[in-house]
Amino acid sequence: CISFLLLILLGVLCENWKVEYQPQHICTVKGLYVVIGCSFYYPEGQRVQTVKWGHERNHIYDGPFIYDSESVNTSSRFQYIGDKVHNCSLKIHQVQHHDAGKYAFRFITQSTNGQWTGKEGPKLQIVDLRAVVTKTNDNRTMMEGDSVNLTCINSCDGDDLSSAFTWFKDGEPINEGPVLYLSNISFINSGNYTCSLTTHEGTTSGVINIDVECEYWTQNLELQNHRILQWSQGHVCQSTDGGRYRQQHQPHLQQPCKPPGGGIYLV
């Protein structure tokens, strides 16, 4: 009977010491800031003196801690935005991949046994923005006239493309939205493409390089006795003013002319 009463008393006492986290799982993009919402409770008469935040890579009771109100060596990236009453929220600036994992809040009061750690802390997931290219010509080289779709993906969104994105070409903003449609492309579409969250340009995806091949052309300059005395080959490209120019290779002498598809033809 006495043991039963002790168990009840212990349960009541433990109920007075509590840490709650909201939400339990947080997903964010590398380079952003994140807030871990937290509330803590303790018996009346207790006065909180020290607050700490730990990460699973260290001992959650003994540290070292990523934030410690009694330490001056805490990184400025970890900002305690709570108090010593009931709010224990933590803000992490410029999150990096090594910040991923479980976190736990610990507080200590003035009494001898007045300490508590919320062991079941939230888990932080860090992802990169991804830029994915879809070509209409499968895997062959992109040529003038082809179409290309570039999609910016924030894995934290899941199947819901709720994030606002900005697209950049060679570092300059060109469009907004999750998908960049490039149709009837020409060489002027060649360049390096990236995307970022519209509200946080520092969150940049990897680079997609678009290299558009021009049309192939051959020119026979002189023909004598079914022999090409001089010929040249190159590509025709669309210029920015709408005209077309020829990118010429070195001329060859006394060679039969072979089209790109192979074989020998005479003009």
Residue 267 belongs to some domain of the structure: no
Residues 102 and 191 grouped into a single domain? no
Residues 55 and 142 grouped into a single domain? no
Are the C-beta atoms of residues 217 and 194 closer than 8 Å to each other? no
Give the number of domains in the chain. Answer: 3
Residues 168 and 242 grouped into a single domain? no
Are the C-beta atoms of residues 148 and 185 closer than 8 Å to each other? yes
Residues 171 and 156 grouped into a single domain? yes
User: First CA to last CA across the chain, in angstroms?
Assistant: 111
Tokens of residue 56, six digits: 């699973």
Tokens of residue 4, six digits: 């039963």
Domain boundary (126, 154, 188) is at: 126
Of 14, 21, 19, 20, nearest to 43 by C-alpha is 14
Residues 114 and 136 grouped into a single domain? no
Residues 46 and 110 grouped into a single domain? yes
Residue 263 belongs to some domain of the structure: no
Residues 119 and 81 grouped into a single domain? yes
Q: What is the pLDDT of residue 237?
A: 56
Domain boundary (210, 227, 242) is at: 210
Residue 264 belongs to some domain of the structure: no
pLDDT digits (tens, 9 = 90+) for 124-175: 999 999 999 998 776 677 888 889 999 999 999 876 667 899 999 999 999 9
Q: Which residues of the chain have pLDDT under 50?
A: 1, 3-13, 220-223, 226-232, 238-267
Residue 10 belongs to some domain of the structure: no
Q: Are strands 48-55 and 200-204 parallel, antiparallel or unpaired?
A: unpaired
Q: What is the pLDDT of residue 202?
A: 79
Provide the residue range defining the domain that includes 233. Answer: 215-253
Residue 7 belongs to some domain of the structure: no
Residues 240 and 185 grouped into a single domain? no
Q: What is the pLDDT of residue 1?
A: 47
Question: Alpha-carbon distance 226 to 104, whole Å?
Answer: 85
Residues 121 and 35 grouped into a single domain? yes
State the Cα angle at 260 between 259 and 262, rounded to 5°. 70
Distance of CA 62 to CAs 87, 102, 135, 204, Å? Answer: 22, 16, 54, 37
Residue 104 belongs to some domain of the structure: yes
Domain boundary (111, 126, 141) is at: 126
What's this model's pTM, rounded to 2 decimal places? 0.71
Mind giving me the DSSP string for 16-65?
Answer: HSEEEEE-SEEEEETTS-EEEEEEEE--TT--EEEEEEEETTSBTTTB--
Residue 2 belongs to some domain of the structure: no
Half-sphere exposure of 122 (CA within 13 A, CB side): 23
Residues 98 and 29 grouped into a single domain? yes
Residues 19 and 90 grouped into a single domain? yes
CATH assignment at residue 100:
2.60.40.10
Residues 225 and 193 grouped into a single domain? no
